[in-house]
Amino acid sequence: MILEHSNRINVHDNQRRVKVVAFGSYHSGKTSFIKRIDPDPLLTEARNHDGTTTVALDMGIRYHKGYKLYVYGTPGQERFEVAREVVAFGLNAGLVVVDSTRGMTEFEKRVLSELRGSGIPCIVLANKSDLPGASVEKVREDAGGYDDVFPISSVTGKGVDAVLDRIVELASALRSN
């Protein structure tokens, strides 16, 4: 699997590379977001009782405004904490993917607070905005009024470009520090 994809992880192509890691509770839509930004992602999913679930990591690559974004998806299931730690190592920016029909879980609130506490730029994605009952206001409230909350739909693609723009903005700020 690694060899098959190794040509895509070329570190000698002089692009400005950014490692972005997506966190979020079970089925919040992390894998769907990665599939949306890269039509040929690396996915490690297994079938389970309600569809599929990530069991190790996902990765998509997206070129955006002069940057090469490596976007990693973590597993949402609690038991995969070790995988989350390994995937998160060395990240430049974090995404907290929230199912906006249910609001932020305690886990998602904790991840946001840990990222912010470590000074890592992060964006909250209020995903599933295409579904009835989705509320970006509720997610904003759950995030304690945090500014960087973006309503998106990983299924329709709505709002995704604004997220990519914001990642690049945060990355360029990092570089100028």
Ligand X SMILES: Nc1nc2c(ncn2[C@@H]2O[C@H](COP(=O)(O)OP(=O)(O)OP(=O)(O)O)[C@@H](O)[C@H]2O)c(=O)[nH]1
- For residues 74 and 83, the answer to whether their CB atoms sit within 8 Å is yes
Work out the angle between the directed axes of helices 160-176 and 30-37 (0-180°, nearest 10).
90
The answer to whether 8 touches 61, Cβ cutoff 8 Å, is: yes
Residue 26 contact, options ligand X, Mg ion, none, Cβ 5-8 Å cut-off depending on partner type: ligand X
100 lies in the site for ligand X, by CB under 6 A: no
Query: Given the rule CB under 6 A, which of 20-28, 115-123, 141-149, 166-174 is the region that contacts ligand X?
Result: 20-28
Selection from Mg ion, ligand X, none that 128 binds (CB < 5 to 8 A by kind) is ligand X
Instruction: Please report, as residue ranges, which positions from 153 to 172 form the binding site for ligand X (by CB under 6 A).
Output: 153-155
Total site size for ligand X, rule CB under 6 A = 21
Element (H, E) at 28: none
Please name which of 116, 177, 118, 106 lies closest in space to residue 149, comparing C-alpha atoms: 116
120 binds, among Mg ion, ligand X, none (CB under 5 to 8 A by kind): none
Site pattern 9..48 for Mg ion (x: CB under 5 A): ---------------------xx-----------------
* CA–CA separation, 26 and 28 (whole Å): 6
DSSP letter, residue 41: -
Looking at this protein, which amino acid is placed at residue 44?
T
Instruction: Give me the residues that bind ligand X (CB under 6 A), please.
Output: 24, 26-32, 51-54, 75-76, 127-128, 130-131, 153-155
